[in-house]
Chains A and B, each alone.
Chain A
Amino acid sequence: LAKTTQPISMDSYEGQEVNITCSHNNIATNDYITWYQQFPSQGPRFIIQGYKTKVTNEVASLFIPADRKSSTLSLPRVSLSDTAVYYCLGPNTNAGKSTFGDGTTLTVKP
């Protein structure tokens, strides 16, 4: 399974934009990049996925450079409720097996 690397923790303040970068040097040609969010005592929840360039939905944006060896999850104007662990999945299209890693703990302060 492909390994990913992301910061262990980040702090931010309400209203700021937060960018979390993940490196995935071993990404395969067919792999998509997927991000999940996990609140305490809950299972992870899908946020966004992309293949290249930029993807945006109602929750976040995902930026992927041309070499696809990294990706950046962007959360616009975070609020206290965005405090969670964010996982960049080790890309793998083999039956959906993915490596979650330890994720990035984002703490949003008032």
Chain B
Amino acid sequence: NAGVTQTPKFRVLKTGQSMTLLCAQDMNHEYMYWYRQDPGMGLRLIHYSVGEGTTAKGEVPDGYNVSRLKKQNFLLGLESAAPSQTSVYFCASSDWTGGSYEQYFGPGTRLTVT
């Protein structure tokens, strides 16, 4: 049981380039999330999904797109990278536990845009 995995772990992009971050979970969770974390700051929600084929915007969605074609995968895309998108990106998944949504996080992807 690997939990939540993220690919790649590190990436350097030039301004204007595009890339896709992959998140995979093997816990059969319905809900998945993408966050970004800037140095010294808390996590901010980019996009999330409440099930296969669905996506919704979070707090800071601009400049990002997502897709959830399979229940276990959640992809985050940057169409035209900007230096302001330099950050650590965390993916998480969760399910209803009867009290709340306990989120399980991946190890993160450190992205630098030059």
Contacts and interface: CB of A to CB of B under 8 A. Distances in A.
Given A95-B48, A96-B33, A97-B58, A49 B99 contact: yes
Contact of B106 (A1, A43, A51): A43
Interface of A: 1, 31-32, 34, 36, 41-46, 49, 51, 85, 87, 91, 93, 95-103
Contacts of B96: 96
Q: What size tier do the contact residues of chain B reach?
A: 20 to 34
B102 A34 contact: yes
Given A49-B100, A95-B31, A97-B58, A42 B48 contact: no
A93 to B, nearest CB: 6
A102 B106 CA distance: 19
Interface of B: 4, 31, 33, 35, 41-45, 48, 50, 56, 58-59, 90, 92, 94, 96, 99-108
Nearest to A103: B42
Contact of A51 (B50, B99, B108): B99
Given A87-B42, A98-B103, 12 more contacts: A42-B105, A43-B4, A43-B92, A46-B103, A49-B102, A51-B99, A96-B31, A96-B100, A96-B103, A98-B45, A100-B42, A102-B41
